[in-house]
Every structure is written in C-alpha cells, then in structure tokens.
Amino acid sequence: MSRATEDEGQLVAALVAGDRAAFARAYQRYNAPMVRLASAILRNRASAEEVAQDAWVSILKNIGTFQGRSTFAAWVFTILTNAARSRARRDGRQVLFEDSGEGNSLADAFDGTGHWKDVPALWEEVTPEREVEGRNLLSHVTAAIDRLPEAQRAVMILRGQQGMEAAEVCAALGISEGNMRVLLHRARLALRGELDRLLS
Amino acid sequence: MGIGFTCKDVAERANALIDGELGFADRLKIRLHLAICKGCDHFIHQMRQTKALIRASAAMPAEEVPPAALDAILARVARPEEEPEPKPDG
C-alpha cells in the first residue's frame, strides 16, 4: 500500500519528469532540515551542506525507483542519513546515537513522594504565530531543537518534525526502538521546558 | 507501586500516552489521576501542545532557494560519470 500522500505523489511525478520548479519546491521544503540533521550527525556545518548536496544528487538520480512504500520525506531523510553516516565513516568518525543521559528536565520536578514541587500552570494563547521575545513560537521551537544533544536532535527532526514512523527512524539512525523512545521523551521534555519558560 | 499513579508516574508516561502507545491499564490509572490532579492535567495538555508545535515547525516557510544551489545539483545529476549514493528500498 502506498504511504505517500497525494501531494507527494504529484511532487514525485514532477521530479521524475525533470520539472525544475518541483525540484525547487522540494529543495525549499527539505534542504534546511536535511542540513540540520546532517549537522547533528557530522557536527560540522560545512560537511553537512556538502552531504545534503550529495543526497539531492542521489535523490534526483534515483527518483524513478521511489515506489511509495514509505513517505517521500522518509525516503529523502533515509538517503540523507545514509550519506551522512558514510561521510562520517570516511572521516574516521564513529556515529553513535545512544542515550547520553543528558537533558532530563524533570529530574528535580518532584518531591520524595512523587508529587510536583511546582505545579504546572496552563499555557495561554498557544498559537504558532504568537510572538515571544521577538520571534514566533515555531522559531523558538526550531532553535530549541538545534540546541538539543545530537542524538535527541536527530530523533526530534525525523520523528517529531518530519513525522517519520518509529521503525523508519530506528532504521535510519541504527538505534533500537527503546533507545529512540528515551531520546524522544527527553527531547520533548526539553522543548516543553523551553516553552514553559516562554509562556508561563 | 501502589494501585494509583503518582504525578511522577504520570509524567514518565506522558509521551507514551500522547503517542497512543500506552496499554489499557496504564491509561485508566492516568485518567483516574488526572480527574483529581490539576497539575498533571496541565502537564499532559502542555505535552500535547509541545508535540503539535514541533510538528507545525516542520512546515515553517524556508528561505528563498538560491538558483545557483539548484544549478550545482542539476549539473551533477546530468554528469554521467558520477556514481549514485546507495539508496534505500523505497
């Protein structure tokens, strides 16, 4: 069964036909998160941009083989992740996405009986457009994702932002489902903590 | 662990709850807890809002695409000698 959406189907058909405008749309939509993900893997912005370009070359050369068994986004990000991991190996770097134990923002939130020390308050006016500290909430969210430890950032980009299936994320990053859940849990808590700081 | 959940128990399961990955027994325990605990009710609500904002942030309008960036990629695609990267089975 095809998992690609109708929009994606049209985009893919246009890419197969060599439509430059379709390529520009795909590039505009995916290149920035591709570079951010590659940066999380390679820890180097210049290398990340090169790897994203390599991935685009591969995507366009192989677009005819995309069969819609995954979403187009999952296909794109799997190619990108493979390219970034190959590059890391070539550069002599090991890529491990283990839980580093960093970022448990709830570690001190409870008393000895498991009750909140400070009871969470409702956030008001939570809309993507809301401006706080000079920029909208979505910009804050993206900036906060970029401050996460690398493994959490990679999981958050793929699972949280791009909406890839858990199994697709695990395959792309070479991690277990349990590890992915821990990383996603910590990353979401960190982002909730940042939003709480902005909105409370 | 007793029959009911503490606030800490609820917070630890918040992600699984909002992702629809919790079993019936844990969902029931959380529902009972939320009925009497405003703090946890607010926390779960915040986690749902956080998840939604993260997803929405993927659709943020990106910057204009420099035509030179597209040209560089298309030139490489047109070059026959370049070996394609390994691709997944899509």
Over the stretch A1-28, which tens digit does the pLDDT of each residue have? 456 566 888 999 999 999 999 999 999 9
- List, for residues A119-131, the tens digit of each pLDDT value: 999 998 898 889 9
B4 close to A (CB below 8 A): no
Chain A residue numbers touching B89 (CB-CB < 8 A)? 69
Q: What is the pLDDT of residues A124-163, one digit of tens each?
A: 889 888 999 999 999 999 999 999 998 999 999 999 999 8
Instruction: Specify the pLDDT at position A153.
Output: 93
Q: Which residues of A41-74 are buried (b: 16+ CB within 10 A; e: fewer)?
A: bbebeebbbbbbbbbbbbbbbbbeebebebbbbb
Residue B82 has pLDDT above 80, yes or no: no
Using a CB-CB distance cutoff of 8 angstroms, which residues of chain A are in contact with residue B90? 65-70, 75, 78
Residue in B15, B57, B62 closest to A188 by CB: B15
* Shortest distance, CA B24 to any CA of chain A (angstroms): 19
What pLDDT is stored for residue A69 in this prediction? Answer: 85
Nearest CA in chain B to A191: B50
CA distance A139 to A127: 12
- Fold (CATH) for A98-200: Arc Repressor Mutant, subunit A (1.10.10)
Mean pLDDT of B20-49: 96
Q: What confidence tens digit (pLDDT) does each residue in A80-122 have?
A: 999 999 999 998 887 777 666 666 678 789 999 999 999 999 9
> Where along chain B do its domains lie?
1-58
Q: What is the dihedral of CA A50, B59, A169, A61, to 10 degrees?
A: -50
In which residue ranges of chain A is CATH 1.10.10.10 found? 98-200
Q: Is the pLDDT of residue A200 over 90?
A: no
Let me know: does A147 contact A64? Beta carbons within 8 Å: no
- Residues of chain A contacting residue B45, judged by C-beta atoms under 8 Å apart: 122-123
Partner A, chain B 8-37, Cβ-Cβ below 8 Å = 8-9, 11, 15-16
Using one digit for the tens of pLDDT, what is the confidence trace for A46-64? 999 999 999 999 999 999 9
Q: If you average pLDDT over every residue of chain B, what do you get?
A: 88
Structural tokens at position A55: 């991935």
**Whole-number percent of chain B with pLDDT over 70:** 83
- Which residue of A56, A146, A184 is the best one to mutate when testing the B interface, meaning the one whose CB has the most B CBs within 10 A? A56
User: What is the dotted CATH code of the domain comprising A6-90?
Assistant: 1.10.1740.10
- Residue B85's contacts (CB-CB under 8 Å, 6 or more residues apart) are A54, A55, A57, A58, A79, A82, A83, A86
Q: Where in chain A is the domain with CATH 1.10.1740.10?
A: 6-90
The reply to whether residue B46 touches residue A139, judged by beta carbons under 8 angstroms, is no
- Kindly identify which residue of chain B lies nearest to residue A165, measuring between CA atoms: B19
ipTM: 0.86
CB contact under 8 A, A126 and B73: no
